Copies of this chain bind each other. A is one copy, B any other.
Amino acid sequence: MPDARYAFLGPAGTFAHAAAQRLAGGAELVPYGTVTQAVDALRDGAVTGAVVPLENSVEGAVPATLDALITDRPLVIVAETFLPVVFDLMARPGARLADVRSIATHPHAEAQVRRYLLTELPRAAVELVGSTAAGAEAVAAGRYDAAVAPSSSAALYRLTTLAHDIADQPGAVTRFVLLSRPRPAPPATGNDRTSLVILPRANHAGALLQILTEFAARGINLTRIESRPTKGELGQYCFSIDCEGHLADQRVAEALAALHRLCADVRYLGSYPRRDGRQAGLLAGNADADFADARAWLDRLREQGSG
């Protein structure tokens, strides 16, 4: 795509930048300050894609991204990538851990290193800044003693690493997605994910059971579910759901059609290759060939009175 331009959460050196490079496929990358600005640029046509974080294995869903997908003109997810989250504590060359009195970092990073900082640097003041890269930059400029940031920031801002991989929960990953204005989904690969927002007709437990039944009856696993308050009405919920499978899979298509019939609203947010593991094997009767066979049987029943 020679003319592809993707928005990402800048500045350079953040995890978001690394994710955007992975998903770029040759596209030009354009930094934006917030998810909202990146998504606006996509909706307005200033860019052709936007790479944004959707969820973090420690922190959970990223509300700004979910909300950008739920409201306003439709967008679709066309790709995802998972980035290991490795935080280092970095300072200006020559500094020592014992000297650190102030630490700059982004709130999401802070959440993932809290225990470390409470234990190792209990007296240091933690200052929240707009991005981990901005924190590293501010340390280089002498405004704070140390930054919690991805390893790559140390080289970029000529800092030295005081401690490596300090996350309280090792192995954290962040899931980034590439958003596009609506277009047909990339081809099914046999290991895909489909994202949806579903607004039920009523709010009782039976309504959610009805929604899940449409997935379970076709052997479709969910990989994420989250109730979200519907803006402007207390006690009214919609469900943000990721499930296994692709819009091109008959079991997914039929489940979506059923939800469209039975729910107040279903917003389709894209089908795309899944990057964090293999989907479970299909339960008997749920392959495309089974759907085709059932359809042919039905046609025979209608035409001849016998299958």
Contact = CB atoms under 8 A, between A and B. Distances in A.
B285 A261 contact: yes
A276 interface: yes
Interface in A92-138: 106-107, 111, 114-115, 118, 126-130
A225 to B, nearest CB: 5
B228 A225 contact: no
Contact of A57 (B234, B248, B253): B234
Nearest to A226: B226
Interface of A: prevailing SS: mixed
A38 B146 CA distance: 25
Given A223-B235, A304-B182, A261 B286 contact: yes
Contact of A247 (B57, B204, B248, B301): B301
Contact of A59 (B33, B63, B243): B63
A294 B258 CA distance: 7
A209 B205 contact: no
A72 to B, nearest CB: 11
Contact of A260 (B63, B266, B294): B294
Contact of A277 (B222, B235, B277, B302): B235
Contacts of A26: none
Contacts of A12: none
Interface in A18-74: 33-34, 36-37, 40, 57-61, 63-64, 66-67, 74
A203 interface: yes
Q: Copies per complex?
A: 4
Given A209-B213, A258-B294, A226 B304 contact: no
Contact of A227 (B222, B234, B285, B301): B222
A75 to B, nearest CB: 9
Interface string A180-212: 101111000000000000000101111011101
A148 to B, nearest CB: 14
A306 to B, nearest CB: 3
Given A182-B306, A268-B301, A225 B227 contact: yes
A216 interface: yes
Nearest to A169: B231
B60 A63 contact: yes
A285 B306 contact: no
A303 interface: yes
A152 interface: no
Contacts of A237: 223-224
A268 B182 contact: no
Query: What are the 4 tightest A-B residue pairs by CB atom distance, in nearest-first order?
Result: A182-B306, A182-B305, A261-B285, A257-B294
20 contacts: A36-B115, A57-B229, A58-B231, A63-B111, A128-B130, A173-B234, A182-B304, A184-B302, A208-B225, A209-B212, A209-B216, A225-B239, A226-B227, A235-B276, A235-B277, A256-B298, A260-B293, A260-B297, A261-B291, A268-B306
